[in-house]
Amino acid sequence: MQFRNNFKIAYRNLVKQRLYSMVNIFGLSIGVAASLLIGLYIIHELSYDKFFSGHQQIFKVSLERIYPNHSTYYAVIPHSFAQVAAEDINDIDMATLAMNITNVTFTYIPEDGEVRKFDEPQLLAADSLFLSVFDFEIKKGVREKALTSGNQIVITEDFAERYFGDIDPIGKILSTQGQDFLVSAVMQDVPENSHFRFSALISPYNIPNFNRENFTGFSSYVYIKLKDGADPENVEHQWKSLVDRYAAAQIERELGKSWSEYQQAGNGYRYFLQQLKDIHLFPQYLEVQLKPSGNINSILALLAIAVLIIVIACINFMNLSTAKSFERAKEVGIRKVLGSLRKQLIGQFLTEALILSSIGVLIAVLISAICFGYFNSLIGRNLSFPLDPNWLLALLALIITVGLLAGLYPSFILSSHKPVEVLKGKYSGSTKGNWVRNGLVVFQFWISIVLIIGTLVIQDQMKFMQEFSLGFDKEQVLVIDRGFDIGQANLNTLLSEIKSIPGVVNAAGTFALPGREGSFFGAQFRPIGSDEILTTKSMVVFDDLPETLGLRLLEGRKFSESTNDSLHVMLNETAVQAMGIADPIGSRLVHFIEIAGESVEVVYTVIGIVQDFNFISLRDNITPLVIQSNEAFGGGLGQYAVARIDQSNSNEVIQSISEKWNAIVPEEPFQYSFLDEQLDEQYRSEQQTATLFSTFAVLAIFISCVGLFSLSAYVTQLRTKEIGVRKVLGASVLSIILMLNKEFSKMVITAFVFAVPIAWYMVEKWWLQNFAFSVGVKIFSFLWAGILVMLIAWFTISFQSFKAAVSNPIKAIKAD
């Protein structure tokens, strides 16, 4: 009965004060909608790889390679550790491995029908235990037999649909680069919330390197599944003995020195475990990751924004409710005189708050659903709007939480009015209430300033990355994929033809391209006269690639068509420093390769030093790089054709290159892209974060303005008589506007003082630390944020101030 009465009274009050109710509901709904969308994104980011059964027991083994003067972190480790770890460490239930394979074209030739050929950007070569550790759903075929022989392939549903349509793919043959694979199983498509990304799994048993023992070369992603109750730290500790037992022997054979001497010189291998669910958000700056990772700091920052937006909406509600206490004071006084208890009044006002909260949340859900498509485009995901019972319970909890947060304090303030003072007309609001209200407004300004500073710094960093000199010329560089698919002879012919096209400045083939981390493979070199083996990145290029990309030569010479460069290399500056070579030109490096199961030393001569250039991304420091000629691999390893073209007639040049391609390999589709676009693509996650910050910062400021507008109207109403008296005494309109704005200006300044240190810490420790090359924190960003919030406050308040300043002073003085 009491609740029904409270509901009726609340409904009448809300209808009676339509404008007030609309402002409150509008502010709440916008704030809750924004927070709901952010919350869905955060839940998605935290859900990575949790769909695997027993995911708590699955770990990826990663590596810190320790050198005397630095460390490098890798997501890949030597593949042979997978087998010996499972055998030697009792806590491991199963161990599996996978190798990343990119840009493969498969062909299916049906008995009657059109040949079907598609490019597969990413595959995995996985051993027979992979599908046992990772229980992807198998749609067709037998899990245990899917990857047991060298010619087997497991395809995803999407892969099966593209190649086979309605035909049963089991037992069908797929061909690539002269090799046939038998389809042994069809599995579910890899979910979006997984750190894996592949369209098919092939067996690794026919890969030569896989069948050779290796404990020092980094090539594979190794995963282990621990037994129930096993301690990951204990497994990490036992892994040290594996290094001592297996890697040490290989290093001693290659270096001719003892393992202890090698360690005493400052070298080492520290293997550590990453829990499966942490791989996406806790990359630990690992090189050669399977998929671009997320960032836990960005998630925490977005979580903070979601909470702050809800807080702003609740603050608006609290401020508007306490502000309205002046108008509802007589109602409270009369109800107390008639016998209402304080707890009944509190219940009444909480009911009003919960009704507003319910309406606001329901409208927020509607707004979220309407904006969901746009939000997905912002975050680059394909999330679905949840409608399950758990989601409905979460919405109910949100309604109650927001209602209590927004209505608890106002209900106590309104119910505390003294009826005698109110009915005598002496109530004008409490000093304590004003202090709390002003404090909440300062907090709103503080939030707005922090968000604006964060947004400005993020935008500065994104602009910095777009304009930063990478050490080579990325503009107007056309990249043609699938060099392997057309064969070495055709690729050489294509490059020769491209160079003859007017408007082509230069052209070359290459195995590796800046920004494509997977095309740079790890290689080990030891300077002659040194005991130090350095694992570097290796870039295999054709002769003209340095000129085509505009790499700057500091010493020596580049590769040339007139010389045999099969045993020549070029180094970047970082490699020279890491190897400690005083006079690099003419120095020799020993490279270790496996031939017929034996470790063979190949000696290379350094012929040139190139200026350091960012060949991975601006998130990472520049690492040692050895540039090798494709002549060292028999003229092969040409994955891309690269051409620098004239900007003035680029469309005509591209058309001419397309015609050359079609004349040489008419059966293969012509596919191209531009290098600068590819490089910008690798910062998509940062760009998405920047857009999210900007969007929700604007929303937070807008919600603050809604509350500030209503609150300024209340403050102006309280000072109506004062304004009238001042005008009668000769005060100008401008002086009254400045007087009313002065109080809020003090609040902005106070908020700015408290916001600066927090904002500096957030952008410096949460954002800029993710980049090896950053723009730094600019004082201007802080000043501009403070000025912008001050201008927004003045603009919002000045409407009410001007309205009060030009009103008739006589009416104001006579008002009750």
pLDDT of residue 140: 92
Give, as one character, the DSSP assignment of residue 767.
Answer: I
Confidence of residue 11 (pLDDT cuts 50, 70, 90): low
In angstroms, rounded to a whole number, what is the distance separating the alpha carbons of residues 171 and 153? 10
Calculate mean pLDDT across residues 644-658: 87
**Is the model's pLDDT at 296 over the cut of 80?**
yes
Identify the weakest region by mean pLDDT among 26-40, 160-174, 208-222, 314-328: 314-328
Confidence of residue 808 (pLDDT cuts 50, 70, 90): low
In angstroms, rounded to a whole number, what is the distance separating the alpha carbons of residues 680 and 515? 9
**Is the model's pLDDT at 780 over the cut of 90?**
no
Confidence of residue 162 (pLDDT cuts 50, 70, 90): very high
In angstroms, rounded to a whole number, what is the distance separating the alpha carbons of residues 349 and 337? 18
Identify the weakest region by mean pLDDT among 76-80, 278-282, 475-479, 679-683: 679-683
pLDDT of residue 714: 65
pLDDT of residue 434: 63
Burial of 603 (0-12, 13-18, 19+ CB in 10 A): exposed
Calculate mean pLDDT across residues 139-153: 89
Confidence of residue 420 (pLDDT cuts 50, 70, 90): low
In angstroms, rounded to a whole number, what is the distance separating the alpha carbons of residues 605 and 569? 6
Q: What is the pLDDT of residues 14-48, one digit of tens each?
A: 666 666 667 777 878 888 888 888 888 898 999 99
Confidence of residue 419 (pLDDT cuts 50, 70, 90): low
Nearest residue to 519 (alpha-carbon basis) of 429, 618, 630, 640: 640
Interior CA angle at 470 toward 465 and 475, to 5°? 90
Beta carbons within 10 angstroms of residue 509's beta carbon: 27
Residue 472 CB partners (closer than 8 Å, separation 6+)? 514, 549, 550, 551, 613
Identify the weakest region by mean pLDDT among 263-272, 331-340, 351-360, 663-672: 331-340
Arithmetic mean of pLDDT over the chain? 81
Confidence of residue 326 (pLDDT cuts 50, 70, 90): low
Nearest residue to 660 (alpha-carbon basis) of 503, 784, 466, 532: 503
Q: Which one of 295-299, 544-548, 774-778 scores highest in mean pLDDT?
A: 544-548
In angstroms, rounded to a whole number, what is the distance separating the alpha carbons of residues 177 and 124? 16
In angstroms, rounded to a whole number, what is the distance separating the alpha carbons of residues 96 and 132? 9
How long, in residues, is the chain?
816
**Is the model's pLDDT at 75 over the cut of 70?**
yes
Contact at 8 Å (CB) between 747 and 357?
no
Contact at 8 Å (CB) between 306 and 39?
yes
Calculate mean pLDDT across residues 94-111: 87
In angstroms, rounded to a whole number, what is the distance separating the alpha carbons of residues 685 and 691? 10
Contact at 8 Å (CB) between 647 and 559?
no
Task: Calculate the alpha carbon distances from 116 to 54, 140, 183, 201, 551 in Å.
Answer: 38, 21, 15, 19, 40
pLDDT of residue 236: 92
Q: Which one of 271-280, 589-598, 695-704 scores highest in mean pLDDT?
A: 271-280
Collapsed DSSP state (helix, strand, coil) of residue 643: strand
Burial of 508 (0-12, 13-18, 19+ CB in 10 A): buried
Q: What is the model's pTM? A: 0.79
**Tokens linked to 412:** 């106590």
For tokens 């600068």, the residue is 676
In angstroms, rounded to a whole number, what is the distance separating the alpha carbons of residues 113 and 172? 14
Give, as one character, the DSSP assignment of residue 208.
Answer: G
In angstroms, rounded to a whole number, what is the distance separating the alpha carbons of residues 248 and 215? 9
Q: What is the 3-state secondary structure (H, E, C) of 520-558?
A: CEEEEEEECCCCCCEEEEEEEECCCHHHHHCCCEEEECC
Burial of 480 (0-12, 13-18, 19+ CB in 10 A): buried
For tokens 């003229």, the residue is 635
Percent of the chain at pLDDT exceeding 90: 19
Strand-pairing partners, residue 608, are 556, 570
pLDDT of residue 711: 67
**Tokens linked to 304:** 């903070």
Strand-pairing partners, residue 175, are 107, 180
pLDDT of residue 96: 94
Q: What is the pLDDT of residues 577-626, one digit of tens each?
A: 888 888 899 999 988 776 555 667 889 999 999 999 988 877 778 888 99
pLDDT of residue 2: 58
pLDDT of residue 411: 66
Residue 37 CB partners (closer than 8 Å, separation 6+)? 368, 371, 372, 375
Task: Calculate the alpha carbon distances from 517 to 29, 307, 551, 604 in Å.
Answer: 44, 37, 18, 24
Collapsed DSSP state (helix, strand, coil) of residue 482: coil
Confidence of residue 710 (pLDDT cuts 50, 70, 90): low
pLDDT of residue 526: 83
> How far separated are the first and last CA of the chain, in Å rounded?
37
In angstroms, rounded to a whole number, what is the distance separating the alpha carbons of residues 626 and 609? 10
Between 511 and 212, name the one with better pLDDT: 511
**Is the model's pLDDT at 198 over the cut of 90?**
yes
Confidence of residue 206 (pLDDT cuts 50, 70, 90): confident
Calculate mean pLDDT across residues 671-693: 79
Annotate 234-250 with DSSP letters as a single string.
Answer: HHHHHHHHHIIIIIHHH
**Is the model's pLDDT at 800 over the cut of 90?**
no
**Is the model's pLDDT at 331 over the cut of 70?**
no
**Is the model's pLDDT at 362 over the cut of 70?**
yes
Q: What is the pLDDT of residues 716-734, one digit of tens each?
A: 666 666 667 776 667 777 7
pLDDT of residue 306: 86
Confidence of residue 811 (pLDDT cuts 50, 70, 90): low
Confidence of residue 181 (pLDDT cuts 50, 70, 90): very high
Nearest residue to 32 (alpha-carbon basis) of 301, 406, 322: 406
pLDDT of residue 7: 61
**Is the model's pLDDT at 439 over the cut of 80?**
no
